[in-house]
């Protein structure tokens, strides 16, 4: 018998996080198979969850004593935060510590897509330089209009970095922000004026297919789409059609609708740069995210509040 609260660890996750949590919590792992039977036996009494892949509604429902969920990642579209709030459960996430990393990845994708780094690399490796001569010229990234869909923590970091490339930054969000950039209340109008469209909103129902065929056509045959948000925000079928038909110039994609599946059509295109959801994926940033997962739970253990709470549950946080 122990006084330490029982914690359900939903992985696979970082071993260092599990080890640190085991110092304060009685950690049990959610098994990959036999989940239902496991929860029927152990669900009652579990007060805390640390998760690296959200929490399914049936798992949350099978935890009647749950008080806090600490999630790895800033995006929490795989957690029903409204249901958690209704049940008085705090949901923690990992904002801010990854802003620079995700912005760096965004700029990398933009530069790679515009300056055709991947294709030029293939040209160099294949011997085409010797056989066929210099790689064709690309378009400069300087003095472009960069439209940012979602000007939050990460979007604002991307905006600052884009300014270093002499970009004119414009943005679309539901509510106008107190910033010097030009606000567009209409996404299609913004896409029409942008050379590059960066998508960095949350995922989930509210942003499902916000970037549709109309937005992509407005961005245009010279335009570049960069998606570092969630695959669900962009209509992937419409994206493939726009690229195939030349209505969109190119794309840099870190996220996809059915990860880890990437449609073969995208893989076959030479005007697309693909990344396997690596926006925050460096040792340093993942360590910082893992530490915040622990801090959220440790703070709750000592005082009943968490350090980084999602807005839906903020009213429950002390
Ligand atoms: P944030 O600070 O909450 O910013 C979200 C921004 O999106 C806000 O400006 C918000 O403004 C806007 N927004 C929300 N719903 C919208 C809608 N329906 N239409 C237009 N704009 C909308 O979040 P963040 O920390 O910057 O993170 C953003 C997202 O990036 C995460 O939720 C996650 O999905 C994604 N992400 C991806 C990676 C990766 O590895 N690729 C890494 C980290 C994060 P309004 O509320 O005014 O609309
Ligand atoms: C992580 C992310 O790759 O923070 C987010 O929302 O998408 C990324 O930082 C993801 O959370 C890991 O599961």
Q: pLDDT tens-digit profile of 3-14?
A: 789 999 999 999
Mutate to test the pocket of ligand 1, among 91, 171, 181, 200 (most ligand atoms within 8 A of CB): 200
> Which CATH architecture group holds 99-274?
3-Layer(aba) Sandwich (3.40)
Which residue has the least CA distance to atom 11 on ligand 2?
Answer: 73
pLDDT value at position 3?
75
Distance, first Cα to last Cα, the chain: 29
Strand partners of residue 75:
none
Model's pTM, two decimal places?
A: 0.98
Which of 280, 288, 308 to mutate for ligand 2's pocket (most ligand atoms within 8 Å of CB)? 280
Domains 6-95+284-316 and 99-274 share a fold: yes
Distance from Cα 123 to the centre of ligand 2, integer Å: 33
Catalytic residue of the set 53, 277, 295, 312? 277
What is the CB < 6 Å shell around ligand 1? 74-75, 95, 98, 102, 150-155, 172-175, 200-203, 206-207, 210, 228-230, 254-255, 277, 279-280
pLDDT digits (tens, 9 = 90+) for 243-289: 999 999 999 999 999 999 999 999 999 999 999 999 999 999 999 99
In the residue annotation, 259 being an active-site residue is answered as yes
In this predicted structure, what is the pLDDT of residue 191?
99
In this prediction, residue 1 has a pLDDT band, given cuts at 50, 70 and 90, of: very low
- pLDDT (average), residues 54-60: 98
pLDDT digits (tens, 9 = 90+) for 86-132: 999 999 999 999 999 999 999 999 999 999 999 999 999 999 999 99
Set 244, 245, 259, 284: catalytic member: 259
Task: Locate the ligand 2 atom nearest the alpha carbon of residue 98 and give its number.
Answer: 9
Mean pLDDT within 164-173: 98
Domain ranges of the chain: 6-95+284-316, 99-274
Annotated catalytic, 230? yes
Domain spanning 6-95+284-316 has what CATH number?
Answer: 3.40.50.720
Q: What is the pLDDT of residue 2?
A: 52
Cα of 188 vs centre of ligand 1, distance in Å, is 18
Q: What is the mean pLDDT of residues 223-240?
A: 99
pLDDT score of 216 more than 60? yes
Residue 104 to residue 280: CA distance in whole angstroms: 9
Ligand 2 atom closest to residue 94's alpha carbon, by position in its atom list: 4
Spell out which residues line ligand 2, taking CB within 6 angstroms.
Answer: 52, 72-75, 98, 277, 279-280
């Amino acid at each position: 018998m122990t006084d330490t609260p029982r914690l359900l660890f939903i992985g696979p996750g970082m071993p260092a996080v599990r080890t640190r949590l085991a110092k304060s919590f009685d950690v049990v792992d959610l098994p990959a198979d036999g989940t239902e039977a496991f929860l029927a036996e152990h669900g009652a009494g579990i007060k805390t969850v640390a998760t690296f892949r959200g929490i399914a509604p049936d798992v949350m429902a099978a935890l009647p004593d749950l008080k806090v969920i600490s999630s790895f990642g800033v995006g929490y579209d795989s957690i029903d935060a409204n249901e958690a709030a209704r049940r008085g459960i705090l949901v923690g996430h990992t904002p801010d510590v990854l802003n620079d990393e995700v912005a760096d990845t965004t700029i990398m994708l933009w530069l790679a897509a515009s300056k055709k780094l991947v294709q030029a690399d293939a040209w160099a490796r294949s011997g085409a330089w010797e056989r066929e001569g210099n790689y064709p010229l690309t378009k400069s990234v300087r003095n472009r209009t960069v439209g940012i869909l979602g000007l939050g923590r990460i979007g604002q970091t991307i905006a600052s970095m884009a300014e270093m490339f002499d970009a004119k930054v414009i943005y679309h969000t539901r509510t106008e922000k107190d910033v010097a950039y030009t606000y567009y209340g209409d996404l299609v109008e913004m896409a029409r004026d942008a050379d590059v469209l960066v998508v960095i909103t949350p995922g989930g129902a509210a942003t499902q297919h916000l970037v549709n065929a109309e937005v992509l056509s407005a961005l245009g045959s010279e335009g570049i789409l960069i998606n570092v948000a969630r695959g669900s925000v962009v209509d992937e079928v419409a994206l493939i059609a726009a690229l195939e038909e030349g209505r969109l110039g190119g794309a840099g994609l870190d996220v996809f609708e059915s990860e880890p599946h990437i449609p073969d059509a995208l893989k076959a295109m030479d005007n697309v740069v693909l990344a396997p959801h690596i926006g925050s994926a460096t040792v340093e940033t993942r360590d910082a995210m893992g530490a915040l997962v622990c801090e959220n739970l440790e703070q709750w253990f000592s005082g009943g509040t968490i350090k980084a709470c999602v807005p839906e549950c903020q009213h429950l946080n002390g």
